[in-house]
Every structure is written in structure tokens, then in C-alpha cells.
């Protein structure tokens, strides 16, 4: 049976007002962040997780409350209101699989429920089967429960393209920088070096920090 909630609803592009930002982390990050209301009247909560936690640890709050799940190495480049037009939205990665670094879902989204149910047969030694491949399988089996954006959503291109060349990303809602596989490159980036890094990551960071992707003259 078709899930009518999965059809596009133009009324969902209303201004997004977040009530809670929940950080799911194995350790509390350093810095001045506090579990209290801030200027945008958003509560900041830290939810402790075990290392190597499976994807159902972070999709479970998403199923209960709805909202946006985002990896800490996913960067937003422009408003994602368009991604909120369906009850569940994800995007394709460079290998055509469905990336799990960014998930938009309404409270009680059936796709998320089915994804969580798949962990009844979870094998920790094959975490990718559930966290990546299962999303693709479920999307093919239940296409009416999810809207899948193509590469311009948030994950494309391949991580190497981000660090080895320049990629035109003006059409992207965001980029997944694949931090885990590129720690050495990222450790070299600071407020000074970023000014003249001639690759996609350098351009994206300049855009975020300075409002322009162009190389800095000084």
C-alpha cells in the first residue's frame, strides 16, 4: 500500500524551528557548549553512545521525535528546505549507495521503522550491511516510503575528489568530507593555510569561514 506521507507536500517548506539539538557522541566535546537554551531557544543535549554503535542508536531518536540526523563531518552549504518535502529523505553517495550521513525524517516515518527492524539480524562484523546497504535495499523494496535525492543532495563526489581537485559544488546542499579517511589532510588545515588550499575542501571551508570560495590573495 502506498504511503501517502511520502508524496511531496509543498506546505512543509515553512520555516524550520528547532526545539532540540541532540549530539550523539562517545565523549563530550571540549569547549563552551552547554546543555541549556541558547539565543535561538534551542536546547543542546549530549546523548552518550558506545563506540562502534550501530545505526539504530541514532535512528531510534529520529523515529521517536523526527528531525534531521547529520554526521559531524557533514557540512551544510545552503538551506535544505526542499529536503523536508517528504516524510523521509536521504541522498545517493558517489558509489550510488544511499548515504547515511544526512537523514531527514518525520516522527514515526515508516522507512526509519523498517530500517531499525532490520537490526534484529545485525552482525557487528558487517556493520556496513545494515548502515549502508540495508538502506539501499529498503529503498528499492519500499520506494513510496522514502525520497532519494541524486548526487546533488549532500554526499557526492568521491572523497578523493574533495581533496585532490576542484569540484563544482554550487548545486549541493552540503558535502560529506569523509573525515575518517582523511585525517592527515585535515590536520594541515587552519585559519591561515585554508586561504590558499586549491581543492574542493579548501574552497568549501573558505566559503563557510569567509563567505567566498575564492583563493585569498594574502
Q: pTM for this one?
A: 0.76
Which alpha helices (H) appear in 79-168, and where do they start and end? 110-117, 127-128, 134-141, 159-164
Bond prior to 212 in cis (omega within 30° of 0): no
102, 202: one domain: yes
**Listed residue (169, 137, 124) closest to 151, CA to CA:** 169
DSSP string, 41-76: --EEEEEE--TT--THHHHHHHHHH-EEEE-TTEEE
Packing angle between helix 56-65 and helix 110-117, nearest 10 degrees?
A: 150
Rounded to 5°, angle at Cα 12 from 171 and 94 = 30
In this prediction, residues 181-190 reach a mean pLDDT of 92
Per the document, the length of the chain is 218
Q: What is the mean pLDDT of residues 45-66?
A: 60
- What pLDDT, on a 0 to 100 scale, did the predictor assign at position 11? 47
Decide if 195 is inside a domain.
yes
- What percentage of the chain reaches a pLDDT higher than 70? 69
pLDDT at 15: 53
Over residues 170-184, the mean pLDDT reads 87
Domain span at residue 163 reads 66-218
pLDDT at 5: 43
Q: Give DSSP secondary structure letters for 162-194.
A: HHHS----TT-SEEE--GGGGHHHHHT--TTGG
158-178 in b/e form (b: 16+ CB < 10 A) is ebebbbeeebebeebbbbbbb
C-alpha span between 218 and 216 (Å, rounded)? 6
Question: Phi and psi at residue 6, in whole multiples of 5°?
Answer: -80, -10
Domain match, 42 and 85 both: no
Would residue 8 count as lying in a domain?
no
Give the residue with greater pLDDT, 156 vs 55.
156
Report the distance separating Cα 189 and Cα 212, nearest Å: 17
Above 90 in pLDDT, residue 1? no
- Do 45 and 148 belong to one domain? no
For the chain, the average pLDDT equals 77
Phi, psi of 25 (to 5 degrees): -145, 150
**Residue 145 belongs to some domain of the structure:** yes
The answer to whether residues 93 and 191 belong to one domain is yes
Query: Does residue 144 sit within a domain?
Result: yes
Asked if 68 and 168 count as a contact pair (C-beta separation under 8 A), the reply is no
The average pLDDT across 119-136 equals 81
Judgement on whether residues 95 and 142 belong to the same structural domain of the protein:
yes
Indicate whether 3 belongs to any domain: no
Number of domains comprising the chain: 2
Residue 13: per-residue pLDDT: 45
For residue 191, the cross-strand partners are none
> Which run of H or of E encompasses 209?
helix 200-210
Examine the pLDDT at 56 and tell me if it is beyond 70: no
Say yes or no: 91 and 185 in one domain: yes
Mean pLDDT of 58-82: 83
129 HSE (CA, 13 A, CB side): 9
Question: pLDDT tens digit string along 77-125?
Answer: 888 888 889 999 999 887 778 888 889 999 999 999 999 888 888 787 8
Q: Is residue 12 part of a domain?
A: no
Do 36 and 93 lie in one domain? The reply is: no
Statement: residue 37 has pLDDT above 70: no
pLDDT(170) > 90: no
Same domain membership, residue 185 and residue 97? yes
Average of per-residue pLDDT across 35-58: 46
5-9, 19-23, 139-143, 163-167: the lowest-pLDDT one? 5-9
Per-residue pLDDT at 150 exceeds 80: no
Top-confidence residue, 78 or 16: 78
pLDDT score of 42 more than 90: no
What pLDDT was estimated at residue 192? Answer: 94
Amino acid at each position: 500500500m502506498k504511503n501517502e506521507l511520502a508524496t511531496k507536500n509543498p506546505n512543509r517548506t515553512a520555516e524550520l524551528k528547532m526545539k532540540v539539538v541532540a549530539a550523539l557522541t562517545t565523549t563530550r566535546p571540549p569547549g563552551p557548549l552547554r546543555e541549556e537554551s541558547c539565543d535561538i531557544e534551542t536546547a543542546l543535549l549530549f546523548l552518550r553512545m558506545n563506540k562502534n554503535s550501530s545505526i539504530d542508536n541514532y535512528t531510534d531518536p529520529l523515529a521517536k521525535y523526527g528531525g534531521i540526523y547529520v554526521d559531524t563531518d557533514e557540512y551544510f552549504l545552503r538551506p535544505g528546505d526542499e529536503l523536508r518535502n517528504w516524510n523521509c529523505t536521504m541522498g545517493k553517495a558517489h558509489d550510488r549507495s544511499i548515504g547515511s550521513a544526512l537523514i531527514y525524517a518525520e516522527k514515526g516515518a515508516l522507512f526509519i521503522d523498517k530500517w531499525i527492524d532490520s537490526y534484529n539480524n545485525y552482525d557487528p562484523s558487517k556493520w556496513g550491511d545494515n548502515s549502508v546497504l540495508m538502506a539501499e535495499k529498503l529503498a528499492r523494496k519500499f520506494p513510496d516510503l522514502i525520497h532519494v535525492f541524486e548526487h546533488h543532495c549532500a554526499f557526492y563526489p568521491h572523497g578523493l575528489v574533495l581533496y585532490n581537485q576542484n569540484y563544482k559544488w554550487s548545486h549541493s546542499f552540503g558535502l560529506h568530507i569523509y573525515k575518517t579517511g582523511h585525517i592527515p589532510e585535515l590536520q594541515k588545515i587552519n585559519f591561515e593555510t585554508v586561504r590558499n588550499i586549491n581543492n574542493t575542501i579548501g574552497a568549501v571551508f573558505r566559503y563557510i569561514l569567509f563567505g567566498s570560495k575564492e583563493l585569498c590573495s594574502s
